Copies of this chain bind each other. A is one copy, B any other.
Amino acid sequence: MTVRIAEIFGPTIQGEGALIGQPTVFIRAGGCDYRCSWCDSLHAVDSRFRHEWLPMQPDQVMAKVAELSGGQPLMVSISGGNPAIQDFGPVIALGRAKGYSFACETQGSVARDWFADLALLVLSPKPPSSGQVTDWDAFDACIAAAGAARVVMKIVIFDQRDLDWARDAQSRYPGLPLYLQPGNPEVDPTLPVSPQALADRMLWLVNETVGKGWLTPHILPQLHVLIWGNRRGV
């Protein structure tokens, strides 16, 4: 049973969310059930890149991870695309047996029993600016599937409407730690990113949340964009 893999890269630092700054190897799954207007990973989403996605056996995936980490067990981040449309259970079982831990980021549209084997499940429902609509029943099923595993919610914010939506999402799940990050409008990997523009977006988001008395979400930027711009594989 193979999984379709867009890329495996690292070790590098996790650039965003609850594990920000932590060394990790990324497994980026190919394929997605969403098509966000501002997607920054189209090479793992759009089916016109499908020929670049490599079908790999679980042992091949973990062999590549081990090669990259020099055999040191570390946190492995499974992203995409939406990794939950595939079965990563065997990869995770194999990796955990060798001392690796796993985090997975998904929009929460498909529940998987292997969520319970994660060190961290990041559910990132997509706000209105994405053009997508969240199925909250499916989202509930993802939380249930995670069982005792640590779960957080991460929402990318482009505008005021997204912020209002994030507040509603937090009201729906008051027990889930919430991470907000400014959206990245500069997704062309061939163009440089302005660190000043990234700083300005953070300032706006902090002012609109903490500055207005909303004190429960964590507010974090995308460090990888700050450091490397939109380059792939870092």
B-binding residues in A (CB < 8 A): 11-13, 20-23, 69-70, 72, 74, 179, 195-196, 198-199, 202-203, 206, 209-210, 213, 215-221, 223, 226-228
Contacts and interface: CB of A to CB of B under 8 A. Distances in A.
Nearest to A206: B13
Contacts of A21: 20, 179, 218-220
A196 B195 contact: yes
- Copies of this protein in the assembly total 2
A174 B44 CA distance: 38
Given A20-B21, A179-B21, A220-B21, A199 B215 contact: no
Given A202-B226, A226-B221, A227-B206, A215 B12 contact: no
Nearest to A19: B218
Contacts of A210: 11-13, 23
A72 B214 CA distance: 10
A209 B223 CA distance: 16
A107 to B, nearest CB: 21
A5 to B, nearest CB: 21
Contacts of A223: 202, 220-221
A70 to B, nearest CB: 5
B20 A220 contact: yes
A218 B202 CA distance: 21
B12 A74 contact: no
Given A11-B210, A20-B20, A20-B220, A227 B215 contact: no
Contacts of A217: 23
Contacts of A226: 195, 198-199, 202, 221, 226
A215 B179 contact: no
Nearest to A204: B227
A12 B213 CA distance: 10
Contacts of A206: 12-13, 227
